Structure 1
Amino acid sequence: MSTVAPPRHSSQRPGQSPRPFRAPAPVPHSTPLGFAGFIRTASRNPIEIWGTRAFKEPYIRGAWLGVPNIVVNDPAGIRYCLVENAKNYVMQPLRQRILRPLLRDGLLTAEGQLWRRTRKAIAPVFTPRHISGFTEQMQARSALFAKTLAKREGTTVDASHEMTLLTFDILQETLFSGDIASEPEGFARSTRDFLGSMGRVDPLDLLNAPAFLPRLRRLRGRKSMNFFRGLIAETIEKRREKLDRDPDGTPNDLLTLLIKADGLSSEEIEDNIITFIGAGHETTARSLAWTLYLLSQAPDERALVETEIDEVLPQLTHPSQWSEKLIHTKAAFEEAMRLYPPAPSLNRTALKADRVGDIDIPAGATLLVMPWLVHRHEMLWDRPEHFMPSRFLPDNRDKIDRYQYLPFGVGPRVCIGASFALQEAVIALALLLKDLRFDYVAKHPPRVVQRITVQPDGGLPMRVSRRH
């Protein structure tokens, strides 16, 4: 069984630079898992299947159930397969077997004409002008949330859960104009149950079993799925009624655009709202929580962020400036996404035979581009297991190849909400850390697991205190 690498704290002599914090992660195995071991490990925690080779070599060729598997870690190979020749690589069946029961025909799992039509309908929400307009709402909701947390000074909270509440609040205020039919606590609970039970790899998925065979893990999540979809259906119905009553007074947000989109059925609208909750709200929440945890383990990095917030934030006149000007805050978040990528795998199937690097890719082969591997690869990063936000400061950013850092994916299917998420994260962190400090209080480092996102198993218990 894979274990978690313990965090490494080292004292330094006066005048020495502090050693960076080694972020906990499953330890790569050095011997093959074998058939049964692979099934057991992949079902429990997919990021534990990777051995030491996967973090050292540019390409790895293997096979599963007779299907060739090619792992591509080389940035040039990633660019070729997912950008230059993207038409040759479609969604991998295993990925779809896991995600489609949750997201159905949402933007993340749709293909072909449906995907193109949906993306075209959603694109107007995420123009720079719209995103800039959202920042005031992000600021207001984050400030209110920080004020509420300040009242819990001295108590321990689960940062993972709290960030879910915060990003839900921002999401419903910006993209749905406050119309999601749920209270934050109930929504957070239903989201956790839905994604946690339905987003896990089932052994039958790994064995390519027929779809009609029941997946026990997803059967256990059926109740949460029905509740969650019922909540979204109620949200859609409320907005339709508002559009009928007062079309001119209804906000032209994501929900309205989906309802008005040409050719999208009610079920497809529902699928896309769930996709934005899972792929937007959930991923940003996890990354915010990981950032708070990592800063709590790296006092020098936290001091840089706090000093920046104290000195730079008062000079900024509009929250749309924060992402550009709060460079240490943004760098900490980007480094957290490197260590714990929101989407840890980008899996495709080759339609036609191809060649990348010195590797032949047969038709039907599985192409594996894994941000979890690429972001921690020894070939690409100095001290890849360590939390070093300076990598993402403006003077260093040009040293990072566009295709070695993939928190939002890459190519035609790159995350449409990437700019939205970065703005949201910097604003949220700035207002949380302006007056508050979060300290990790568990005796052991968090166990890192892959579900739909990379998350801390059991949460992140952190004590809230005031800085001033």
Structure 2
Amino acid sequence: MDMRLEPFVPPAPIPRTIPPSRLQIIRTVLDNPLELWGVPSYTLPWIETRFFKERTLIVNDPGLIRHVLVDNARNYEMSEIRQLILRPILRDGLLTAEGEVWKRSRKAMAPVFTPRHAKGFAGQMLRKSEEYAEKYAGAGEGKVFDISVDMTELTFAILSETLFSGEIVTESKDFSDDVDSLLHRMGRVDPMDLLRAPPWVPRFTRIGGKRVLGKFREIVAKTMALRQRKMRDDPDRVPQDFLTLLLALEGPDGLTMEEIEDNILTFIGAGHETTARALAWTLYCVANTPQVRERMEAEIDQVLSTGADPVEWLDRMPWVRAAFEEALRLYPPAPSLNRAAIADDEWQSPDGRSVKINAGVTVLIMPWTLHRHELYWEKPRAFMPERFLPENRDSISRFQYLPFGVGPRVCIGATFAMQEAVIALAVLMSRHRFDLTPETKPWPVQKLTTQPRDGLPMRVSPRLRP
């Protein structure tokens, strides 16, 4: 008899067995798009459908994903509905820019996020994680914290220190609330988006977010002005960081001041948000799997006892990394990647089936369904970090696991985020235990990122070592 424990299955919508009505589609898209998808989205390699009279191809097949995002990426632009949602927030930031603007921005920022450069941030990531861990040490035994909020604060502190040398002009105590408000109000689908109304038509669901967006823009303007004064008045003492690099690129052959502002806003508002959500989900899943937590703690203790440099932790803590990657699989921060075909296209599968993609067709590649797909994963709804241990990684196709996207628009900060996550988890779990409470009943909702509705309360206690 197999006496192994059944793996933990964290909360997620059950695939629909009956197609939703048009009214149900509208309500679900406006409230939580993760609840929209039916059984075919989790069992078929692709689905051709119509969504509000718009032809849509939902893609899960790794080969077809490679075709759209890599091999023929030039034929696929950002979908209209995605841009209607994101461009009002980020304008020409790296996530929303296209064409020459995107090429210039990507080329300009690439040097900061090379693996070699990212490793240089390890010491700062460690210091900020240790400082944040003191918050729990001084709070007393077993106090309950909203870990979703806390991880946003921690990753903001790391981002501010590493990319902006601590010179973002804002009070971080309210920052996580502002981020949540911005994404809730501005980063959601409005009925006018579904109807493809032009950008100048008011989106009433976003009216409440304009004040927060204005606050973010003010933060960026003040941060830029402060650094520009330092570059002008005391150039020898200017930090050579991401902020200085961007400002130095202003000019006819580089970026405009508006593009620089958009990219700073992108990284302040969204650059830490994805990592924060994944960290919170990791701690929640680990709290539900004592055997995984024990392996992680033993690994952390062993590595820390050697005095290993934090730059080595990503490679020397495979269980910590695997737990984070499994949380990214189950709760991908970017749950959908939306494209639209520019010209007619065709792809043929290895078994000879052909997929025709006409110009104008919307292509939905959804990590949310892909990562839970029955064709590509064993027990796809279960939390099983061992999938990502070094000895098992070769069985995972590059195009079936897309937490950072893939192709020309792959997340520029992927290495940065992975290193940050492992360091943060190692520091927090070396000192504290994160446990469930009766109120710990998270439900994933899509607000640009995959977030726990109503937060993620957890009890934090000092870790007792044997």
Indicate the TM-score class for this superposition, using the shorter chain for normalisation.
Answer: over 0.9
Normalising by structure 2, we get a TM-score of: 0.95
Tell me the distance in 2 between the aligned counterparts of 1:277 and 1:353. 38
Structure 2 residue aligned with 1:313: 304
Structure 1 residue aligned with 2:38: 51
1:139 equivalent in alignment to 2:130: no
Structure 2 residue aligned with 1:363: 359
Structure 2 residue aligned with 1:382: 378
Tell me the distance in 2 between the aligned counterparts of 1:446 and 1:231. 31
Tell me the distance in 1 between the aligned counterparts of 2:239 and 2:382. 44
Structure 2 residue aligned with 1:416: 412
Tell me the distance in 2 between the aligned counterparts of 1:147 and 1:64. 50
1:282 equivalent in alignment to 2:278: no
Tell me the distance in 2 between the aligned counterparts of 1:30 and 1:278. 37
Which of residues 2, 10, 15 is equivalent to 1:28? 15
Deviation at 1:195, TM superposition (A): 2.0
Deviation at 1:220, TM superposition (A): 1.4
Deviation at 1:253, TM superposition (A): 1.0
Structure 2 residue aligned with 1:101: 88
Deviation at 1:266, TM superposition (A): 2.2
Code of the residue aligned with 2:410 in structure 1: it is: V
Distance 1:402 1:316, change over 3 A: farther
Q: Give per-residue Cα distances to partners, 1:2-46, cap 9 Å, x unaligned.
A: xxxxxxxxxxx9x82121100111121111112111111101111
Q: Give per-residue Cα distances to partners, 1:250-272, cap 9 Å, x unaligned.
A: 11211111111143222211211
SS at match of 2:58: strand
Identity of aligned residues (%): 53
Structure 1 residue aligned with 2:456: 460
Code of the residue aligned with 1:291 in structure 2: it is: T
1:338 equivalent in alignment to 2:334: no
CA contact (8 A) 1:440 1:460 kept: no
Normalising by structure 1, we get a TM-score of: 0.95
1:206 equivalent in alignment to 2:194: yes
Q: Give per-residue Cα distances to partners, 1:271-297, cap 9 Å, x unaligned.
A: 111211343200000000000000011
Tell me the distance in 1 between the aligned counterparts of 2:395 and 2:367. 18
SS at match of 1:174: helix
CA contact (8 A) 2:441 2:456 kept: no
Q: Give per-residue Cα distances to partners, 1:35-66, cap 9 Å, x unaligned.
A: 11111110111111101110000010001233
Tell me the distance in 2 between the aligned counterparts of 1:243 and 1:189. 32
Structure 1 residue aligned with 2:60: 73
Tell me the distance in 2 between the aligned counterparts of 1:266 and 1:428. 34
Which of residues 168, 177, 197 is equivalent to 2:185? 197
1:118 equivalent in alignment to 2:78: no
SS at match of 2:11: coil
Alignment of 1:125-274 (within 5 A): 125-152=112-139, 153-261=141-249, 262=251, 263-274=254-265
Deviation at 1:443, TM superposition (A): 4.0
Tell me the distance in 2 between the aligned counterparts of 1:336 and 1:423. 15
Structure 2 residue aligned with 1:349: 340
CA contact (8 A) 1:280 1:421 kept: no
Tell me the distance in 2 between the aligned counterparts of 1:442 and 1:276. 35
Code of the residue aligned with 2:357 in structure 1: it is: I
1:291 equivalent in alignment to 2:282: yes
CA contact (8 A) 2:340 2:361 kept: yes
Deviation at 1:316, TM superposition (A): 4.4
1:400 equivalent in alignment to 2:396: yes
- Structure 2 unaligned segments of length 5 or more: list them: none
Deviation at 1:163, TM superposition (A): 0.3
Which of residues 14, 19, 24 is equivalent to 2:6? 19
Tell me the distance in 2 between the aligned counterparts of 1:332 and 1:251. 35
CA contact (8 A) 1:150 1:464 kept: no
SS at match of 1:386: coil
Deviation at 1:329, TM superposition (A): 0.3
Code of the residue aligned with 1:341 in structure 2: it is: P
- Structure 1 unaligned segments of length 5 or more: list them: 1-12
SS at match of 2:57: strand
Greater shift in the superposed pair: 16-25 or 109-118: 16-25
- Deviating 4+ runs (over 3 angstroms): none
